[in-house]
Amino acid sequence: MITVPVRRVKQFGVEFYQAGLSSKDIDRLVKFEVLGYTGGPRDERPAKKGNGARARVNWDMLERRISESETAYQRPVIRRKIDELVQYYRECKDSATLPAIPGAVIITSEKRFTFTPVAGQHDLGLLQIPEEHGVLRVLDGQHRLLALHALSQQGENMGLDVPAVLFDSLDARQIVELFVTINAKHTRLNPSHIISLAGRKLYPDPNQALAHDIVRSLNEDDTSPLHGEIRMLGTGRGRVSQAPLAEEIVDFLDAVEKIGGSQRIQEVRQGAKRFFLNYAKAISGTFPSAWAGRKYSIKTGTALRAFIRVAPDVMARARDLKRDPFDLHAIREAVRPWGERLRDRRFETEGEWKLKLAGGTRGTVEALTRELRDALRI
């Protein structure tokens, strides 16, 4: 274990730490990695400088330190950027007028840390980090740390303490969404890189991976009623965030696997994209005015989560009707009672929807789920 002084911070239920990591700590603990994928521009070689310039980066040595994996999320290294950072660090050291890395890098860990508060302080203390190579992964700031490591490889000790934000409690979905939100909105991450972040590369759990791909399909399929309506990985113009929809689909898949066993989950996994695309079409056809109108709340996270929660009931009703539960016509027939009993007005933002929200728990996801489920059973 290594021990570093930290400040513990909590934001919206998420806990993380602010610390300073030495260059030595970074070399020992951080794993540098990039996503292995095809497509998108590859990096350029740094431009050659005059003979008087000091050698910048030993690329043969540095690239041996960088791994490539389909489970990574970082883009391929931009050599010119590292070369420029190395030169800037040297200038900072020579002039001693500017800090080389004043902004915090963001680092994650799959292993939990141990925080011990100091006497009389709740949020100040000592953090113990497992002393294992690769225990830390860079979420934001990989180029800055690679440039620092390149200098260390060449025997130039910068003697820097790097400000860092450390997370040890984020799951795979949270890490990826935070990464893309930071980079796509502030550093213009190449669109081809975002497109390449398919669920199978992002999430180790097969249900999480499939849920991501289902939501992505709903957002990108030209025939989908939700085309362009979902903010994938925190980006886009859609009105509904991907995360809560994906979480509901994961819960749906987990329940199928737990109750139905391996044979049923395999069937559902194979037809899941088809089912949810047809399901969205059936919902939009059952509530046409609400789906097309601006003064309705049917395409909100609350409503869509409720529809996902009753997906098992819809599939069961289609089977009761002796129909294929993945077929569009069968799903339309299964959800027909909603159009007869709930109707479009249930989703009027200033009407029944607002009244039920004002009534407290009656306006929550659980309340709409009960209404949808009860309507199918009548």
Quick count: other Cβ atoms within 10 Å of Cβ 367? 17
pLDDT at 71: 61
Tokens linked to 327 = 């077929």
Which range (46-55, 258-267, 311-320) has the least confidence? 46-55
Q: pLDDT tens digit string along 8-25? A: 999 988 899 999 998 888
Average pLDDT over residues 295-318: 94
Rounded (10°) CA dihedral 162, 168, 172, 173: -90
Nearest to 231 by CA among 172, 300, 175: 300
Is residue 181 scored above 50 in pLDDT? yes
Q: What is the pLDDT of residue 315?
A: 95
Q: Is the pLDDT of residue 2 over 80?
A: yes
b/e map 52-78, b = 16+ CB within 10 Å: eeeebbeeeebeeebeeeeebbbbbbe
Tell me how far apart the alpha carbons of residues 182 and 168 are, in angstroms, rounded to a whole number: 18
First to last CA, the chain: 61
Q: Encode pLDDT of 45-81 as tens digits.
A: 444 444 344 456 666 666 666 766 666 666 667 788 8
Q: How buried is residue 212: exposed, middle or buried, by Cβ count under 10 Å (0-12/13-18/19+)?
A: buried
Spatial separation of the C-alpha atoms in residues 206 and 194, rounded to whole Å = 20
Alpha helices in 140-205 (DSSP H): 142-153, 172-186, 191-196, 199-202
Report d(CA 311, CA 373) in Å as an integer: 10
pLDDT confidence of residue 195: 46
Is the predicted pLDDT of residue 347 greater than 90, yes or no?
yes
Q: In this structure, are residues 111 and 1 in contact, taking their beta carbons and an 8 Å threshold?
A: no
Task: For residue 17, give the nearest of 148, 114, 102, 144 by alpha carbon.
Answer: 114
Residues 6 or more apart whose Cβ sits within 8 Å of residue 286:
332, 335, 336, 338, 339
